[in-house]
Amino acid sequence: MSSIAWFKLASPASFFPLARRLVPWFGAAAAVLATIGLWVGLLVAPTDAQQGDAYRIIFIHVPAAWMSMFIYLVMAFWCAVSLTFNTRLAAMLAQALAPTGAMFTFLALVTGAMWGRPAWGTYWAWDARMTSELILLFLYFGYMALRNAIDDPRRADRASAVLALVGVVNVPIIYFSVKWWNTLHQGASVSLTSAPTMAAPMLAGMLVMAFAAWFYAIAIVLLRVQAIIVEREKNANWIGDLVPRTR
């Protein structure tokens, strides 16, 4: 581990080539894993006794829901790093993570609604998980809107980092408040926690898809962070060596 020069990589100039080399690998891994995962999920996994084939949306839904929360944590981590060490690259990574996190949150909500219709007979049930996922989407939107509203990128970095950290402290509070509110209002009419034991191919397909989503997120974030680096460091000399200027 000590052979990796972490502090050297904290410079956009040395991180940029690494990101450029890594994107195809993670992209290819995501594509292969998604193919395997969808093949297992759609063709190999048995039809569910109660839900029929409608349950197969979990191969998208569950990985998306996991990634939506995981990416927020990763984003908050890089925000903390950027505030603590005042590194530009950490803030750029956080900036690059936000749209992907919001995309997965939205995907989890939409696929959840599509699954909810056949499984529960309704698109939307104010279930604790759905409600806190919706609020998570608002947190992502707030983060991105605050970044957009600030012209100076360094101020945007630090202001949005404060917001992300306040948000990450609040996420568990929001989750539990919604959970208790939900039990008070309508009882546990919709419970996902007591799911029956899952057939092995179902679980395998879900895990493979989770890794596919994870690698996709890494690939797309590394791609986006390159764009952010080029945009923000456009006046640096090293950019000209890597990215040919069009003008």
Number of residues in the chain? 247
Which amino acid, residue 165? Answer: L
Residues pairing with 48 in the sheet: 52
The answer for residues whose C-beta is within 8 angstroms of residue 112's C-beta and 6 or more apart is 61, 65, 130, 133
Residue 65 or 136 with smaller CB distance to another protein: 136
Contact characters 137-166, another protein, x per CB under 8 A: -xx-xx--xx-xxx----x--xx--xx-xx
Q: What SS3 state is found at 182?
A: helix
CB of 56 or CB of 232, closer to another protein = 232
In the numeric block, the tokens 């109660």 are attached to: 50
Q: Which is nearer to another protein, 47 or 170 (CB)?
A: 170
Count of residues engaged in binding another protein, rule: CB under 8 A? 29
Binding mask 167-186 for another protein (x = CB under 8 A): x-xx--xx--xx-xx--xx-
Task: State whether the Cα torsion 103-106-111-114 is positive or negative.
Answer: negative
Give the Cβ contact number of residue 179 at 10 Å.
16
Distance CA 223, CA 226 (A): 5
Beta carbon of residue 190, minimum distance to another protein (angstroms, whole number):
18
Q: Is 69 in the site for another protein (CB under 8 A)?
A: no
Give the interface with another protein as residue ranges (CB under 8 A). Answer: 83, 135, 138-139, 141-142, 145-146, 148-150, 155, 158-159, 162-163, 165-167, 169-170, 173-174, 177-178, 180-181, 184-185
